[in-house]
Amino acid sequence: MESEELQERVDIILHKLKFIEQKPTVACIDVSELLVAGNQFTELITIAGGIAVTGPVIPQDPDIIIIMPTGSSIERSMKEMGPLLQLPGFAELKAVKNNRLYIADAAQYFNELNRVDSIEILAEIINPKLFVFGYEGAGWIRFAV
Q: For residue 90, what is the domain's CATH number?
A: 3.40.50.1980
CA 105 to chain centre: 10
Q: Which residues pair with 141 in a beta bridge?
A: 103
pLDDT at 2 over 80: no
Q: What is the pTM of this model?
A: 0.91
Judged on CB neighbours under 10 Å (0-12, 13-18, 19+), 112 is exposed
95 touches 101 (CB < 8 A): yes
How far apart, in Å, are the Cα atoms of 129 and each of 10, 44, 99, 113, 133?
A: 17, 19, 15, 27, 12
| DSSP-H helix ranges across the chain | 3-17, 40-47, 57-60, 74-79, 81-86, 94-97, 115-126
In this structure, how many other beta carbons lie within 10 angstroms of the beta carbon of residue 49? 23
Task: Round the average pLDDT of the chain to a whole number and report it.
Answer: 89
Integer distance in angstroms from the first to the last C-alpha of the chain?
A: 38
CB-based contacts of 36, cutoff 8 Å, min separation 6: 27, 28, 29, 53, 54, 55, 56, 57
pLDDT at 39 over 90: no
Domain holding 37, by residue range, is 3-142
Structural domain tally of the chain? Answer: 1
- Per-residue pLDDT of 115-133, as tens digits, reads 899 999 999 999 999 999 9
* Residue 29 pLDDT grade (very low, low, confident, very high; cuts 50, 70, 90): confident
